[in-house]
Amino acid sequence: MPDLQVPEKIKERLYPVVLDLFSSQDFHQVNMREISRRTGLSSSTLYRYYRSKEALVFAILDDKISQIGDSVRQQIKGLESAREMIHMSFWVTFDFYDNNPGVAITAFITVPMRTWMQTPTYRSDETRGFIGRIVEHGQARGEISPEVTASQALDLYYMFCYRQIHKWYFHGRKWKLVDTIPRFFDLFWRAVSA
């Protein structure tokens, strides 16, 4: 995470450039000098807020990906069916990545996972939270099997997200991620339903 609160005007200049660089190049090819050059921000400004390029990209991913949880919470308000809630969660997630492909590519393709896993930004408490609440709600309604844990449902959620994003990227992003949901959603639901 940044050492200091990053002003919005810096984020507006920094985020698009960083996501473009990391989604179009290998992680190790990107350096702070290039980020500085492309954003017009001095290296000293970058290092004031971020100790390294890893800290920079992980903070950006954390900031952007946390928006998914906020959107899911808004979109599932008023829904009663756990099945509809989970379906909406996938839709919101994939719609976010369709509209922010740099985030999807950087998070799922470019970033070295071992390095990211060693940082607090890797844990997505937002996602864990909304999936856990949906599982509890579905179990209370008898829709989700009582044997299914929130952790298992989260594993399945991430498994399908990773697989669909990898296929989408591998095939040159020829389709929208939201269009893949019908291919796997019934399988997901059968795995968790009562």
Determine the topology of domain 8-192 in CATH. Answer: Tetracycline Repressor; domain 2 (1.10.357)
The neighbour count for residue 20, using CB atoms within 10 Å, is 15
Tens of pLDDT, residue by residue over 126-147, are 667 889 999 999 999 999 999 9
pLDDT at 124: 64
pLDDT at 116: 78
Task: Determine the Cα angle at 8 with ends 120 and 63, to 5°.
Answer: 25
